[in-house]
Every structure is written in structure tokens, then in C-alpha cells.
Amino acid sequence: MRIAILFSLLVFVNSASAESGLEYDSIWRCDESRFNWYCDIQRDSDQVDNAVEKSKPKAASEEDEAVADLKKLREDAEKKRALAIVKPTPENLKSYIVAQEALMDRASVFSDVWRRVIWANPELNYQLRNPSNNSAIQVRDVQRTRKEAETLASLVRDWGLFFFFRSDCPYCHRMAPTLKFLSEQYGIAVFPVSLDGGGLPEFPKPSRDNGMAASLGVSVVPLVVLGNIKDRRLLPIGSGVLSAQEIVERIYILTQTRPGELY
């Protein structure tokens, strides 16, 4: 009787499993349409490859390796230097000298290759823009002086110089003859502006300050400002006593060059 009951239960369980779709041909076969606690869905091969690539460390670039090597060389030399200072034995000093000489040899090779590259690539040669050779400097200065004079002569119709001063300022008295000379030599107009109402021998009848000094933030005299008559532009040239050549040069730089062009 017991055997019959057990047999009937087994038949019922098998039929229920068949109806629920839980049976497998093999316990090792994974069928995504059926439930199985041990069935792992295989991931896309691309996802697997991407995960592997992300887990791999990136190879250091040649620049990164060079930075690391140079840092190691410097640290090694610095350690040997510190040891030689703290314990100045012949062995420690010799070790530091050898390390230092190795760095100097590398610097010498770098410097030599640098100049060879400059010789072969004129566009990289800074000396062509700002020479250090005396002969070349003289040629450059002559050309620049000519350009500066030509520039000032071409600006006299639209530009003028505002001269801010005080009648009791000794530096203003020293500056006035220079501006008078520029006015007579190049024909550029000079507009004297007195902050205290007094005049100078070269400019006995100046204009009184009408607030222009405050708008420009004038705190030191003498002050020379280049002004455009048409568009009202104001370009401060400088404070203190300036030579005629300095004023002409600064006018050229402010009106004819871009920042960094002459450097």
C-alpha cells in the first residue's frame, strides 16, 4: 500500500514539473526560457572585452616615462648631496660628484642639440627678432628709430599729448622742455593741463584741470598721455621725467605693435 502511494506521488510531481516547464534535458544546459537557480546568462562578448580592457592598466606614454626617469635622476642626486653634506666622507662626496656630473653631461647634450635645432630652423631663432650681437643690435636700433620717427610724423593730425603737471613740481619743470622740443621737431600738439592753475616757462598759459585728471586717476606728476582727437582714445605714456626718445618709442609701441611683438 505504501509503495503504491509513493509511486502515485512521484507520477504527480513529474506531471506537474512537465506542465510548469521546469524540466531540462541536462542540468548543465542553460535555457533562458526556463527557471534554474544555477543558470548564468552569458554576457555579450563585447561587454566582456570592454570589461577586460578597463581592468588593464594604461601603458605609460613616452613623455610620462621621461618625466619619471628625470625625477628619479634628480632625486638620486639630491639624496647623494644630502648624504655628502651630513656625512662628508670621501666616498659620499665622490658618489655625489659622479651623480652631479651625470646630470651635467645630460644638460650639455641637451644644450648642444638645442642650438643645432635653432640653426636648422630659423623660425625658432629668437635672436632674429631680438639680436644680442652688437652689430645686429645697431642695425635693429637704426631701423626702429626710423620707424618711430615716421610713426610720430604720421600721427600728428589725429593725436596729441596731454601734459599733466603742477607749477611747483621740479620734475615737471624738467619735463616741459622735452615736450616743447617734440612739438617743434615733429609738429605734434601738446596740451598742458595744470593741476594747481599755475604755468611753466614753456607753457605759461595752460588749461586748468576740468576733472580729466580725476577720471584718469592721476596721482603722480608729470604725466604724459597720448590722446586721439577724433575717437577720444587716451593712452597713458608714462609718469616722471622721460626723454624725448622714450616718448617717441612708447608712442610707436602703443600705436603700431601688439603686446609681446617686440619681445
| Per-residue confidence in pLDDT tens, the chain, 263 aa | 555 554 454 444 455 444 444 555 555 566 556 555 555 555 555 555 665 566 666 777 999 999 999 999 999 999 999 999 999 999 999 999 999 999 999 999 999 999 999 999 988 888 887 787 888 888 888 888 888 888 888 888 899 999 999 999 999 999 999 999 999 998 999 999 999 999 999 999 999 988 888 888 888 999 999 999 888 899 999 999 999 999 999 999 999 888 877 76
For 72, 148, 254, 258, the CA distances from 261, given in Å and listed in that order, are: 39, 15, 11, 5
218 CB neighbour count, 10 Å cutoff? 19
**Contact between residue 188 and residue 161 where contact means Cβ atoms under 8 Å apart:** yes
pLDDT value, residue 17: 47
Query: Widest CA span of the chain, in angstroms?
Result: 143
pLDDT value, residue 104: 94
d(CA 146, CA 63): 47
188 CB neighbour count, 10 Å cutoff? 21
**Contact between residue 262 and residue 130 where contact means Cβ atoms under 8 Å apart:** yes
**Contact between residue 172 and residue 190 where contact means Cβ atoms under 8 Å apart:** no
DSSP-derived 3-state class of residue 38: coil
> Which residue type is seen at 253?
I
pLDDT value, residue 106: 93
| DSSP helix, strand, coil percent of the chain (3-state; round to 5) | 55, 10, 35
Sheet of strand 189-194, all strands in order from the earlier edge strand to the far edge: 207-208, 189-194, 159-165, 223-228, 234-239
d(CA 214, CA 223): 13
Grid coordinates given for 248: 617717441
